[in-house]
Amino acid sequence: MFEIQGSCSAGYTQKDKLEQAVIRKIKEHILTYENLKELVHLVNEEMDASADDYSERLSVTSVELEGVNHRLERLYDALETGSLKLADLSPRIQRLRQRQEQLNAVRLELENLLSDRKLEFADMETVKSYVEDLRNLLEDSPLIEKKSFIKSFVKEIRVAGHEVVLKYNIPPSVGAPHQETLVVPPIVHYGGPTCTIDRTFSLRFSLVT
């Protein structure tokens, strides 16, 4: 059904059992309200840590930009008063304008990162309904849809003997286009509609019960 990496020399029947075990673990441990809520909490913690860095960089950038703007104003004043010639000032003005554009771009990017940094969990009923839809998708959908859905958030499955490790992102919404980089699902609300969650989580389990 989906690609599994690692030491697995089993035949078709055992491979099928392995795939079913993977699906069962996804339903039991990933597609649950408690797990998805915890994932959002972990992502928020990382975003809060990043926000401190963004705020510091924004402060430094704003100070430098203010200095560049002040220097440009002084050069323009010198041109107006005629104390310096345009030929003398032109290279300096050009360099400062280029730096001004760079700093404005950096400031805008940092401001966007700060405004789009927070995930908010939807209400419990919405999440429970969402989780139920995802679990039903694994139960009732045709094989090709199951495969597509699992690939949309399970990034890697590794098998070593009886041990299996799944690497996955927060699952996407039912009916949404599947993408390699996950668009924020409806169980969370994000600052920007095109922002992505790149955090990868792990689930480890044994095939021996």
Total structural domains within the chain: 2
If asked whether residues 125 and 197 sit together in one domain, one would say yes
Position 177 scores a pLDDT of 36
If asked whether residues 133 and 198 sit together in one domain, one would say yes
> 10-residue block means of pLDDT along the chain (209 residues)?
53 68 84 79 73 89 96 90 83 94 94 70 65 80 81 84 83 45 40 51 80
If asked whether residues 76 and 55 sit together in one domain, one would say yes
If asked whether residues 183 and 135 sit together in one domain, one would say yes
If asked whether residues 129 and 35 sit together in one domain, one would say yes
Give the range of the structural domain holding residue 86, as residue numbers without chain letter: 48-115
If asked whether residues 111 and 124 sit together in one domain, one would say no
Position 173 scores a pLDDT of 53
Q: Which of 115, 137, 154 is at the close of a domain?
A: 115
Position 115 scores a pLDDT of 76
pTM listed for this prediction: 0.49
If asked whether residues 101 and 153 sit together in one domain, one would say no
Q: Which among 171, 188, 185 has a CA at the least distance from the CA of 44? A: 188
Position 49 scores a pLDDT of 77
Q: Which of 88, 115, 142 is at the close of a domain?
A: 115
- Please state the φ and ψ torsions of residue 153, each to the nearest 5 degrees: -135, -20
Position 84 scores a pLDDT of 79
If asked whether residues 82 and 110 sit together in one domain, one would say yes
If asked whether residues 168 and 181 sit together in one domain, one would say yes
